[in-house]
Structure 1
Amino acid sequence: MDFFNKFTLETPESVELDFTLAGIGNRAFALVIDYFCFWLILIIYLLSTFVFSEVISTVLNSFLPNLENVEMWLTAIFFVIFFFIYVGYFVFFETLWQGQTPGKRRVKIRVIRDDGRPVGLQQATLRALLRPVDDILFLGVLLIVFSKQEKRLGDLVAGTLVIQEEKANNLATFLISKEAKGLVNYLIDKSNLSRLSTEHFAVIREYLQRREGMLKQARHELSRKLAYQVKDIIELQEIPENTTANHFLEAVYLAYQQGIENKE
Structure 2
Amino acid sequence: MRFFNRITLQTPESVELEFTLAGIGNRALALLIDYIALGLTLTVFWVAWGIFTVVIIDAFGNARNLGLWLFAIALFLNFTIYMGYFVFFEVLWQGQTPGKRYSKIRVIRDDGRRVGIQQATLRALLRPFDDTLFIGAFLIMLTPKEKRLGDMAAGTVVVQEEYLVATTNFTISEKTQELAKELPQIANLSLLLPDDFATVREYLQRRQEMTTKAKNELSLHLARQIRNIIDLKDLPEGLTPDVFLEAVYIAYQQQTSS
Find the aligned partners of 2:111 and 2:56 in 1 and give their Cα distance. Answer: 48
Code of the aligned partner of 1:48: A
Q: Which residue of 2 aligns with 1:232?
A: none
Deviation string, structure 1 residues 4-60 (Cα, Å, up to 9, x no partner): 20000111211110010000010000000000000111111112112222233356x
Q: In structure 2, which of residues 131, 138, 147 is the aligned counterpart of residue 135 of structure 1?
A: 131
Q: Which residue of 2 aligns with 1:46?
A: 46
Find the aligned partners of 1:88 and 1:156 in 2 and give their Cα distance. Answer: 20
Code of the aligned partner of 2:99: G
Q: Which residue of 1 aligns with 2:76?
A: 80
- Does structure 1 residue 14 correspond to structure 2 residue 14? yes
Code of the aligned partner of 1:95: V
Given that 2:123 and 2:151 are in contact with CA atoms closer than 8 Å, whether structure 1 keeps it comes out as yes
Find the aligned partners of 1:155 and 1:57 in 2 and give their Cα distance. Answer: 44
Work out the percentage of aligned pairs sharing the same amino acid: 60
Given that 2:3 and 2:23 are in contact with CA atoms closer than 8 Å, whether structure 1 keeps it comes out as no
Q: CA deviation at 1:142?
A: 1.3
Q: Which residue of 1 aligns with 2:147?
A: 151
1:29-178 to 2 correspondence within 5 Å? 29-57=29-57, 61=60, 68-168=64-164
Deviation string, structure 1 residues 57-83 (Cα, Å, up to 9, x no partner): 356x48xx9x52222112211111110
Deviation string, structure 1 residues 194-232 (Cα, Å, up to 9, x no partner): xxxxxxxxxxxxxxxxxxxxxxxxxxxxxxxxxxxxxxx
Find the aligned partners of 1:134 and 1:44 in 2 and give their Cα distance. Answer: 26
Q: Which secondary structure does the structure 1 equivalent of 2:162 belong to?
A: coil
Q: Which runs of 5+ in 1 are unaligned?
A: 173-264
Code of the aligned partner of 1:130: L
TM-score, with normalisation over the residues of structure 2?
Answer: 0.61
Code of the aligned partner of 1:162: V
Q: CA deviation at 1:3?
A: 4.1
Q: Which secondary structure does the structure 2 equivalent of 1:33 belong to?
A: helix
Q: CA deviation at 1:97?
A: 0.1
Of 135-144 and 25-34, deviating more is 135-144
TM-score, with normalisation over the residues of structure 1?
Answer: 0.59
Q: Which secondary structure does the structure 1 equivalent of 2:144 belong to?
A: coil
Find the aligned partners of 1:118 and 1:43 in 2 and give their Cα distance. Answer: 32
Q: Cα distance 1:3–1:133, how it changes in 2: closer, same or farther (>3 A)? A: closer
Deviation string, structure 1 residues 133-162 (Cα, Å, up to 9, x no partner): 000232101111110000000000000000
1:172-187 to 2 correspondence within 5 Å? none
Q: Which secondary structure does the structure 2 equivalent of 1:99 belong to?
A: coil
Given that 2:19 and 2:159 are in contact with CA atoms closer than 8 Å, whether structure 1 keeps it comes out as yes
Code of the aligned partner of 2:79: F
Find the aligned partners of 1:119 and 1:51 in 2 and give their Cα distance. Answer: 38
Q: Which secondary structure does the structure 1 equivalent of 2:19 belong to?
A: strand
Q: Which runs of 5+ in 2 are unaligned?
A: 168-258
Cα RMSD of the aligned pairs, angstroms, is 1.9
Code of the aligned partner of 1:124: A
Larger Rg: 1
Q: Which secondary structure does the structure 2 equivalent of 1:138 belong to?
A: helix
Find the aligned partners of 1:122 and 1:3 in 2 and give their Cα distance. Answer: 30
